[in-house]
Amino acid sequence: MTQPADTPAARVDLVVLGGGSGGYAAALRAAELGMTVVMIEKDKVGGTCLHRGCIPTKALLHSAETVEVIKEAAQFGVNGTFESVDLPAVNKYKDKVVEGLYKGLTGLVKSRKIEVLQGTGRLTSGTSVEVALEDGSTRTVEAGHVLLATGSVPRSIPGLEIDHQRVITSDDALGMGSIPGSVVILGAGAIGCEFASVWRSFGAEVTIVEALPHLVPLEEESSSKLLERAFRKRGIKQELGARFEKVEPTDEGVRVTLEGGKTLEADLLLVAIGRGPVSKDLGYEQAGVTLNRGFVEVDAYCQTSVPTISAVGDLIPTLQLAHVGFAEGILVAERLAGLAVTPIDYDGVPRVTYSSPEVASVGLTRKVAEERGYEVVEATYDLAGNGKARILGTAGAVKVLASKDGPVIGVHMVGERVGELIAEAQLITNWEALPGEVAQLIHPHPTMSEAVGEAHLALAGKPLHSHS
């Protein structure tokens, strides 16, 4: 039964609406700084990243990588036979990884004495949230500050109805009990390319449809072209610069029609055109919070148009990455605690697409740098000259961009597991290192990390294992 509206309200320092990456990071840091915190989550703490995004998809990608290792074992002198993919067993492994991390996170939240309310929250003022709890009752939480962190959901386009059976989202794809024979993927961003990589390794026929001219279109163009070449080699078909017109059911699956009349038939259509903010009917505008196309508008310190309300994560128009949510949540908690904080430099955030091969970058692309007035110099180191890359059998490159006579402004990589190399590149770009300064650093041999050093050696005018 619903409690009366005058149910006594709990007063805390911070109420966090949403327990995903940004929300729980803020809650943990705020509690660490001595604040009393209530966190409201309608599903499970951890949000999209832990339960329907980063973690489960990367577990699937590791299973897919294992398939490729078995298939290619002979080239390394190992005799092995690939039999099949047991998808229920793959899902069991994936779910075990998620569950282990979830238990660890909930234990951490409990240890910081953060109260978690399981239910749906709605903003009722600049300092209060009403929660519809699972048992049917309601509770109002009053706080000195409110943090909005309600995240995002998969987007579609007008006229494209998702039935969750033949026309699916990434959420649906993670719960499938069988491997499709064929798939059309609409969208060639990180989500689309990662699922293309998984399903191709699992044996599906895959076609990616992208309206823009390249895969991962926001990346450096040379990186996109390297990924396109690698995907073609793997048998992943690509319809680039092609616009979706409609999808129709068939006896066997779906028929996708592109502008111009070309049709593609497959078992499934995966819609992977991005994620939209969850902000509708949550009381945001009524409380005075400014929205723009559903996103909450904030300043450089994640503060909204209402001084007592902040917002972080996929809800605001910044990079939709879990590690960005972590950083924004920490920034808000420290600002509320009175600590000196520095706005996030979003150009300096590392970005990774975990396909096979991976695409990783930090800083500016050449196009963006030139639009901002930089005179750009660059060097590219081909992984063909890297000993460890040869051992692993991976192809790709590391490209470094710098302003002429100035610091490094962008690093762009393609190759297996280059996501593990991007942290060094992040330090280089964020600390505005000169190519010559990085060239002085000694990288261990033989490692993939040498490729970063070699690219900087080339840009500094003293290439070692690459042509000038």
Q: Return the residue matching tokens 């819609």.
A: 271
Strand order in the sheet with 182-186: 167-168, 268-271, 182-186, 205-210, 237-240
Find out whether 193 and 353 touch, Cβ atoms under 8 Å: yes
d(C-alpha 259, C-alpha 255), whole Å: 13
Can you point out the beta strands (E) in 77-174? 115-125, 128-133, 138-148, 152-154, 167-168
Find out whether 87 and 179 touch, Cβ atoms under 8 Å: yes
Q: Name the residue among 172, 168, 129, 126 with its Cα closest to residue 41.
A: 129
Q: Name the residue among 173, 157, 139 with its Cα closest to residue 40.
A: 139
d(C-alpha 151, C-alpha 22), whole Å: 8
Please say if 51 is a catalytic residue: no
**Marked catalytic residue, from 51, 445, 456, 465:** 445
Strands 309-311 and 138-148: parallel
Q: For the chain, give the number of residues.
A: 468
d(C-alpha 325, C-alpha 329), whole Å: 6
Under the phi-then-psi rule, with left for phi > 0, alpha for psi from -120 to 50, and beta for the rest, what region is 297?
Answer: beta
Please return the burial class of 23, using the count of CB atoms within 10 Å of its CB with bins 0-12, 13-18 and 19+: buried
> Cis ω on the peptide bond leading into residue 350 (within 30° of 0)?
no
Alpha-helical regions (H) of 338-382: 366-371
Token reading at 357: 């091969």
Looking at the annotation, which residues are catalytic?
445
